[in-house]
Structure 1
Amino acid sequence: MSQLQLSPVQDVDTLLALAGQVQALADSEKESLGFLPETAIREAISRRRVIAMLANAGAENEFAGYLLYSGVFPHAKVQQIAVVHKYRGLGFAGALMRTFLSELEVRGFMTVRADVAADLPSALAFYARSKFEIVRERSGGKARGRTILVHMRELETDTLFSISNRIPPTGFELGLRRRSAGQSPLFALDLNIFLDLVRNRQHSDQARRLFGAALAHDIRVAVSDEFVRELRRNSTDVNNDPLLQMALSMPRLPTAEVDNQAQLQEKVHDLVFVRRGLRSSGTAQALSDARHLAHAAIARATAFVTRDAALLDSRDELIRNFGIDVISLNEIIDLLPVDEIASAAVAVAGAGFQAQVSSRDEAEKYLRENNVATATKSFLDSVSETNVIWKIAQDQRIVALGWLSLKRSIMPSGKLLVHTRPEHQSSAFFSDYLLDFLVREACKGGPITLELEQLPGQSMVHSIARGQGFTKGPASRLIKIAVGKPLAEQNWTASTKELQRRTGFTLPANFPTNADAIVAGYDQDSAGLLRPDELENLLSPTIIVWPGRAGVIVPITKRYADELLGTNRQQRLSFIESMDASFLTKRAYINSPKAAKLMRPDMPIIFYESKRDRQGIGAVVAVARIVDAVISKKHEISGEDKRRLVVENIADFSASEDILLTTFDNLIQLPKPVPVKRLRELESVGRANLVSPVELPSEKIAQILAEGW
């Protein structure tokens, strides 16, 4: 990555001082740009219609290029864009265009136009890369007889139509479960939980933790009318019963309409006791349990906490039919938020940059410098005490910033902000890294709902976020759910329960039997069909091993695994530069073309760290998803593809001139590496003992991942 620093210039006085250099560059490109007199350039500068780019490779800034535009709000037009010859091919034109588009979006422009001659292939390719579309063609001037292709690009600017398009349509809706402002989840308690608290019983410690969480306002607890009636029925002296007096002082669920509760009680009793043929059906205790649940459902409690086996066994049917969850004491304790844990992330160095923690003060200063302080005010006003603020710095200057604010709750959520300097050549690279890094930090404690602020002028960030599974959300935000672990039949029930309780998002209770479509959503009214790949993107990082989804296990030596997979078990010194691949969400693995039939798009790819260099541990260490696998000539691999590799000499791989380049994403490191001895027991090493790739059926993939997690 180049150490060259770019600085956009829009100040009128500075631009007027550069007017002679702008004119000289424009005159040198008359064939492509046409003639523009000096007076027109100076007038455009005075009207703030010129952006220049300065390059700084040492002590002095040097003029590197300019962009001149016109137009009437809210529509702009690129008139000229040019880069000094010595700086061509380094991404300067793209930096100028990104700076220009960012400025237009901040100012509320809706479209930008560029008229490009059809006989300028380099210019046409540049506008295509910049996501302009050809909308029509027209004839040029009579002197040259050129055909002009009119290009347009719509900008990410809030308009009446764009705002309405962000409102989710009727049907499937991926949105946050809204509770009243500032309120914690409400849990209705069964009598047995209360007795665990007040008596010295097996589950008393857990009950005390539960009530401690209520006192800390992490959750709210309440009891039903039946709770009090049940205590009264079992009391020998209602006037002098300390348990009853304590229960009377506890928060109560809102009073329910008698007839509605009676009807729901009958349905609950039928579902839990009658249909299941339980002996307790029709008993006083069964009817009492049904009244508890009916009242909790009508009060829209988050869940009913109990140790009653019959109620817990009916959990899926109760959610599906009445929208009330039933949770055990053990399960709710596991969900309680833990005390704040500092991020374990350590500073890392890339080629010419450092990724490291930032203070809040320097982060806010960066936002002010980039004129987004107003746009980020609501985010900054709402951030919690638990923050992960990560910066990308070059030569002590912040060039990109990521901010994660986590809300302490039993149903946690996180707010994200990512901003990069649009003029920087690596703004897309930094955006990709920061988004992925913060999402992974957020879901370390379990599934979580995330909101990403959509900042004006950051359309590249928004586009990359959509590629990482973010989708339309409320107001000017994108949202997603992050799971952070593989999903297979072995952990499906526990994982879907955890997902529903932490985010409100519901998946089928039973593991899908095919890969056609999965019903998912927040409730029956908003549920919709999602293809498994859509679901996988939405919940990423995750790998879903549904039946029939074959995969492949491939060998990799430790020296490559450490950087490509991030599995280094020793902390890397912060001043040692990592290759670009270790910062990208899409990375690449190369091996012999003979494996082409085994490496197919969308397959899980399991990485086995071999002992071949006598340093590897001989175990499965990570899993990912194949994006594509392409046979390429060694000398024809593009610079972009090389960037995804951690291999310096491609010639060492494959005896032929061809190599198989496999791109993958959704990388997940396994916390418990699965050793080769166990792989042999699972018959997953193949005839060559994992010297070469081995295809595995979904059942084997699921077994390996279950043991690694």
Structure 2
Amino acid sequence: MMKQYMKILKSFSEIEPFLPILQSCADKNRKALGFFTKQTYEEQALQGRIWIAISSDTNDYAGHLMFGGTFPLLKIFQVFVNPNYRRSNIATKLIKELVSYGESGNYISISCRVAADLRANSFWEKNGFVLIRQEQGKGNSKRTINIRIKELNTPTLFTYGDARNKQNLHSSEVQISYINRPISNNPSYVIDLNVFFDVVRNRPRNKEASLLISAGFNNQIRVCVTTEFSKELEKHSDPNKVDPVLSFAERLPTLPPIDQKNLEGIISKIGLLVFPEKMHAGKLTENDRSDLLHLASCIHHRVYGFVTNDKAILKVSDKIRQNYGLDIVSSQDFIGSDSISEKYDLKTIFDGQEINSGEIKEHERQELESFLSGLGISLEQIVTILDPGISGSPRRRVSVRADNELIAVASWDAPSKFMQSTVLYLFVDEHHPTATKIIDHVLETVSRDTAPFQLRRIDLSIGFEQVHTKQTALQRGFCLQLSGDSLSLTGGLSKVSYRGIITPDSWHDFTVKYKKLTGLALPSMMPNYKEFINTGIVFKSTQTINLKLFEFETLISPALLLCRGREAIILPIRRRYADELLHSYQKQTKMFPYSEALLHVERAYFKTSRNTNLFKKGLPVIFYVSGKEGGSMEAVGSGRITFSDVLSYEEIDMNMSRQGVLSKNELSDRLDSEGKIHVFTFDNFNLFANPIPFNKLRALGLVSAANLITSEKLKYNQFIKLCKTAYDKEQLK
């Protein structure tokens, strides 16, 4: 076939004329490509997520690529080539263009879903998309779906700054305060008239819009409307007839009315974003002005998001969020899985007592109510604490026992993309000798129980006499609220948790959401490593706050900040030590009790004094399970070093032996000629969803000639490569 010369179109104005033929081709091949509505194609094109290849000679449609996803992961939804232009490498060129786009934007990887029975799997393999798992497809066919990933080679232009071992200032020692909010403060989403009609008139977007309404019924979000909403609806109603739709709409939660004169300033500014040409020409239509009134009301009342299918508004969604902090979303954005399952079961031995932590069973309820009542909790409050939730909005409920004696009860909401906050009810018998360790364990468990790559605010609710709980929470990144109700259960403490990595490119989105949850404005640019170490991050609370990297990372734990220039260390660890120190590393529940070290947020690892200088406070440590004792020979997770020193046997026995897993004989055997051993403690352990085998580590250039016989330093560019490989599968969940 004669060689074809192609051009790739990306802007909406260029793509729009080709959308009808694109949809026609996709619909004819829906078995391979899946089905999307006309509106979906238009919305994706408006956001620059459809690219079209055309013939340079004839301008004919030759193929297209449709993609999406959220940072740091891109997702391919469709790749199609016109039969008349096949065998011209068009699909490969589109994929390469997306790879270039992803790497220039510092994305980690690209994923795609391909039916296992399609010949296209060979195409994806040739283009570097590795099969990582399979899922059972939905619908009548029940086809097996291959999940494929391509890792991106994100360029690195920055170098490492010197690490320094700084003293930790706990958040209790600086006056960081978060805004105090009502316990039931769920994010408010305002819907426009078209989204409402999608539900009540059973239009094509009914499924997506219904999910939004369902989340409102489940109390995950607040669904409301503006006063302009009813005015628009009245225009579509017959004044001489009773309109049940209008009657229903008038009963929807409505934002308070605002004098339009007070909104004119917002309207004039946001109008230039949404309708620039019409604003300059003074030719806004009645509908245009109604749209701007919706947006201005949302901005004035500081609601979380505005749900619309309006193309002009969706097209400038990023600019509206950046300038006004208002999320613009379509009903399509509410499709998908939003919860994860986090382990909170544990069995260990402490001072000869068996400690069990696990899910509450309904047959325990009478005993739990009696325990809480004994701590001075009212019956009304007990009902809230033990509430199991409902199918669409489940709650975690955990009890902790020592030799079958109930010593603690905790409950909180399961993670959801709709809910950015939860209340942690934590009630502990602080007279019990294990109380402090149990408090540590629960606080860490809840901090980890966060949707991947999402922020979550945790408001702590405890008994009045739980002094140790409050002190421990302050040391674990909880901050005081600006004000509080002394009559409530709330301990006046809150924490923001982030599970995943934060990069300079995702920093802006992080800061916008962080401000919504806390009221604190972080710098617009993420400090690099040297800036974090030598100056810290500076922001305003009740006073000007200056936090170094270690302290700020503690505030948002278990987050990992990939600031430019940060290095890490990779540590080989034997399987039996990993089994005991790294609870979530276990793929199966252990029959016998775990080490007491798992009750400690900071766990200790003892090693010979070789390479001691590599271990510095705040440095990320990658745990590699070696091949000894049948180990898996793969990097399984990361932690953060909190302390490192060479100590004598007596110092360790007195202060740190319970945080580790070595016996006294094993400790003695590892002492050097001076009777000392290197010990470091770590926290913030995060299990890699995609463990990295030795051969892969070597292929990525992360292993020296020593082959991980001992600890090795990872430079910044190596650290980035490792994180891209380790966290991509986590983002898929």
Per the normalisation by structure 1, the TM-score is 0.63
Q: Is the 1:414–1:448 contact (alpha carbons within 8 Å) kept by the matching residues of 2? A: no
Please state if 1:433 is matched with 2:441: yes
Q: Distance in 2 between matches of 1:209 and 1:268?
A: 29
2:211 to 209, 212, 231: 209
- SS of 1:613 mapped into structure 2: helix
* Mapping of residues 467-546 of structure 1, within 5 Å: 467-473=475-481, 474=484, 475=486, 476-489=491-504, 492=507, 511-513=526-528, 514-515=531-532, 516-518=535-537, 530-546=547-563
Aligned residues of 2:450 and 2:498 also touching (Cα < 8 A): no
Does residue 622 (structure 1) correspond to residue 637 (structure 2)? The answer is: yes
Q: Which of these residues, 612, 623, 630, is aligned with residue 628 of structure 2?
A: 612
1:689 aligns with 2:694: no
Moved more, 261-270 or 678-687: 678-687
Pairwise CA distance, 1:593: 2.1
Contact 1:355 1:390 (C-alpha < 8 Å) held by counterparts: no
Q: Distance in 1 between matches of 2:309 and 2:644?
A: 51
Which residue of 2 is the match for residue 415 of structure 1? 424
**Cα drift, residue 677 of structure 1:** 3.8
The answer to whether residue 356 in structure 2 is matched with residue 355 in structure 1 is yes
Between the two proteins, the alignment pairs up a number of residues equal to 525
Kept in 1: contact 2:450–2:499 (CA 8 A): no
State the Cα distance separating 1:591 from its structure 2 match. Answer: 2.7
Residue 373 (structure 1) aligned to one of 373, 376, 379? 376
- Cα distance in 2 for partners of 1:295, 1:255 equals 8
Q: Which residue of 2 aligns with 1:701?
A: 719
TM superposition shift of 1:539 = 1.7
SS of the aligned residue for 2:656 comes to helix
How far apart, in 2, do the equivalents of 1:208 and 1:499 lie?
A: 28
Q: Percent identity, please.
A: 25
Is 1:572 the counterpart of 2:589? The answer is yes
Distance (Å, rounded) in 1 between the aligned partners of 2:453 and 2:365: 23
**Structure 1 residues 309 and 641, CA, compared in 2 at 3 Å: closer, same or farther?**
farther
d(CA) in 2 for partners of 1:440, 1:481: 11
The within-5 A match list for 1:118-129 is none
Shift of 1:293: 0.8
Contact 2:356-2:402 within 8 A present in 1 as well? no
Equivalent in the alignment of 1:602? 618
Which residue does 2:58 correspond to in 1?
none
Cα gap change, 1:393 to 1:296, in 2 (>3 Å): closer
2:404 aligned with 1:396, yes or no?
A: yes
Distance in 1 between the 2:452 and 2:538 partners?
26
RMSD, aligned CA:
4.3
Residues 427 and 190 (structure 1), Cα distance of their counterparts in 2 relative to 1, 3 Å cut = closer
Pair 1:484–1:410, CA change in 2 (3 A): same
Any idea what the Cα deviations from partners look like across 1:665-697, whole Å, max 9, x if unmatched?
Answer: 122222222333443343222332222222223
Amino acid at match of 1:487: I
The Cα shift of 1:253 comes to: 3.9
Contact 1:272 1:311 in 2 (8 A): yes
Cα deviation digits, residues 243-283 of structure 1 (max 9, x gap): 99699657354332121122210021235555x99999965
> Structure 1 residues 491, 566: CA separation in 2 closer, same or farther (over 3 Å shift)?
farther
170, 174, 180: which is aligned to 2:178?
174
Does the C-alpha gap of structure 1 residues 573 and 675 become closer, same or farther in structure 2, counting only changes over 3 Å? closer
Describe the shift of the 1:355–1:440 C-alpha distance in structure 2 as closer, same or farther (beyond 3 A): farther
> Is the radius of gyration larger for structure 1 or structure 2?
1
Deviations 1:505-564 (A, max 9, x none): 765665444424446689xx9996654433322222222222222211111122211211
Cα distance between partner residues in 2 of 1:419 and 1:569: 28
Q: Is the contact made by 2:372 and 2:382 (CA closer than 8 Å) also made in structure 1?
A: no
Q: CA deviation at 1:347?
A: 4.5
In structure 2, do the counterparts of structure 1 residues 391 and 444 end up closer, same or farther at CA, with 3 Å as the change threshold?
farther
Equivalent position to 1:269, from 268, 271, 276: 271
Cα offset for 1:427?
A: 3.8
In the superposition, relative to structure 1, how do residues 305 and 707 fare at CA in structure 2: closer, same or farther (>3 Å)?
farther
- Alignment partner, residue 5 of structure 2: none
Corresponding residue for 2:467? Answer: 459
Residue 661 of structure 1 aligns with which residue?
679
The equivalent position to 2:385 in structure 1, one of 378, 383, 386, is: 383
Partner of 1:161: none
CA, structure 1 residues 667+631, in 2 after alignment: closer, same or farther (shift >3 Å)? same
The CA distance in 1 between the partners of 2:337 and 2:341, in whole Å, is: 19
Matched residues in 2 for 1:241 and 1:550: separation?
A: 68
Quick check: 1:280–1:286 contact (8 Å CA) kept in 2?
no
Does the residue aligned with 1:685 lie in a helix, a strand or coil?
coil
Amino acid at match of 1:641: M
Give secondary structure in 2 for the equivalent of 1:638: helix
TM-score by length of 2: 0.61
Q: Conserved in 1, the CA contact under 8 Å of 2:346 and 2:356? A: yes
Question: Partners in 2 of 1:277 and 1:597 — Cα distance?
Answer: 64
Distance 1:595 1:331, change over 3 A: farther
Aligned counterpart in structure 2 of residue 291 of structure 1, from 269, 290, 293: 293
Q: 1:184 to 1:695 in 2, by over 3 A?
A: closer
Amino acid at match of 1:628: F
Deviation at 1:288, TM superposition (A): 4.9
What residue in structure 2 maps to residue 448 of structure 1? 456
Could you tell me which amino acid in structure 2 is paired with residue 682 of structure 1? Answer: L
* Matched residue type, 1:353: E
Structure 1: distance between partners of 2:544 and 2:228 = 33
CA distance in 2: counterparts of 1:305 and 1:632, whole angstroms: 59
Displacement of 1:435 in angstroms is 3.2
CA–CA separation in structure 2 for the residues paired with 1:218 and 1:394: 35
**What amino acid does structure 2 have at the position aligned with 1:383?**
I
Once the two structures are TM-superposed, the CA of residue 209 in structure 1 deviates from its matched residue by 1.3
Tell me the distance in 2 between the aligned counterparts of 1:510 and 1:331.
Answer: 27
Check the 8 A contact 2:600/2:659 in 1, yes or no.
yes
Task: Call closer, same or farther: CA 1:635–1:216 in 2, change over 3 Å.
Answer: closer
Contact 1:412 1:503 in 2 (8 A): no
Partners of 1:315 and 1:267 in 2: CA distance? 14
- From 388, 413, 416, the counterpart of 1:406: 413
1:259 and 1:175 mapped to 2: Cα distance?
A: 30
Give the whole-Å Cα distance in 1 for the aligned partners of 2:413 and 2:505. 30
SS in 2 for 1:700: helix
1:223 deviates by 3.7
Distance change >3 Å, CA 259–CA 417, structure 1 → 2:
same
What is the letter of the counterpart of residue 666 of structure 1? N
Residue 646 of structure 2 is aligned to residue 641 of structure 1 = no
| 3-state SS of 1:577 partner | coil
Q: Which whole-Å CA distance do the structure 1 matches of 2:207 and 2:458 have between them? A: 33
Query: Partner letter of residue 602 of structure 2?
Result: K
Query: 8 Å contact 2:453–2:500 — kept in the other structure?
Result: no
Distance 1:380 1:263, change over 3 A: same
Asked whether the equivalents of residues 230 and 250 of structure 2 are also in contact (C-alpha less than 8 Å), the reply is no
Inter-partner Cα distance in structure 2 for 1:624 and 1:323: 33
Q: Determine if contact 2:498/2:558 at 8 Å carries over to the other structure.
A: yes
One-letter amino acid of the counterpart of residue 658, structure 2:
R
Give the AA of the match of 1:348.
K
Q: Answer yes or no: is the 8 Å Cα contact 1:603–1:625 preserved in 2.
A: yes
Distance 1:177 1:478, change over 3 A: closer
- Spell out the pairing of 1:153-302 with structure 2 (5 A cutoff): 173-178=177-182, 185-194=187-196, 196-197=198-199, 203-224=205-226, 249=250, 251=252, 252-271=254-273, 274=276, 284=285, 287-302=289-304
Unaligned runs of 5+ in 2: 1-171, 389-394, 728-733
Q: 1:689 to 1:174 in 2, by over 3 A?
A: same
CA displacement, residues 153-205 of structure 1 (integer Å, 9 cap, x when unaligned)? xxxxxxxxxxxxx9x98xx63134348xx675432223553455467776442
Q: Aligned partner of 2:367: which letter?
A: E
Q: 2:698 aligns with which of 673, 680, 691?
A: 680
Secondary structure at 1:356 match in 2: strand
Q: State the 1:437 CA deviation.
A: 3.2
